[in-house]
Amino acid sequence: MKKFWVWMNIIYERAMFLVFAVALLVVAYGLYDAWYVYRKASDDSYLNYKPAVGEAIPEESPITDDMVAWITVDGTNVDYPVMQGQTNSDYLNTNPYGEYSLSGSIFLDCRNSGDFTDDYSILYGHHMEYGKMFGALDDFFDQDYLESHKSGTLTVGKTAGKEYPIGIFACAKVNVYDNQALDPDVLENITKIIDGEAQYINTSIKKSDHILALSTCTEPVSNNRLIVFCYIYE
């Protein structure tokens, strides 16, 4: 009987050791996964291929031909190539080099024209930690921040044939199923949505007939989207 309990204790100890070892591996994998995603989101090697006005990106650039523009918001981390796929899922988990990446890319709605001649264009990006990708949009909920970070540029095409100044004038949190804020074909409703949903509107910004929306998620699983609205100037 004594030997039986000795063996039971040994089995119990080994079972507990195995449980703790598995738990440790799970925690280690979680930490590695978080680090890996952050490292990918922090990869700024694409800046080496940022086009200048009238100068195409270098031929050796690994950025795919799906690049349609480059978006820069002055004084923020937003300084990225803009991709556009056949669907809005193509660059959700694909980086500008065409590689799998949980941080994805900044991408233009597949329903929009790649030359940004539409009256209403929409860019999407993941809400990453430390202001990476479109995680930087959180700051625009502060009125002072929005007023002091109101400019940027949109350089169109891999050949950088055109560069448009942009003026940031509003930030809103909307439910994508309650209105049409993420429908490129409903410009006539956008001003109503902005007036009704925006936390603050900078009326000192010069208006334009072309509006650009920068959209990101607010929570991992939610119908809400954080949208920063900009004017595109010819």
51 pLDDT band, cuts 50/70/90, is confident
* φ, ψ for residue 25, nearest 5 deg: -65, -40
206 pLDDT band, cuts 50/70/90, is very high
First to last CA, the chain: 90
Residue among 197, 80, 70, 113 nearest 229 (CA): 197
Tokens 């590695």 locate to 32
Separation in Å, CA 106 to CA 19, 40, 90, 92, 203: 41, 14, 11, 8, 27
pLDDT at 56 over 80: no
Share of the chain above pLDDT 70, in %: 79
State residue 25's pLDDT score.
Answer: 45
* Residues 160 and 53: beta-carbon distance below 8 Å: yes
Separation in Å, CA 181 to CA 64, 119, 144: 29, 13, 24
Write the pLDDT tens digit of every residue in 136-180: 999 999 999 999 999 999 999 888 889 999 999 999 998 877 667
Alpha carbon distance 121, 183 (integer Å): 9
In the chain, the largest separation of any two C-alpha atoms, in whole Å, equals 90
2 pLDDT band, cuts 50/70/90, is low
Write the pLDDT tens digit of every residue in 101-138: 988 999 999 999 999 999 999 999 999 877 789 999 99
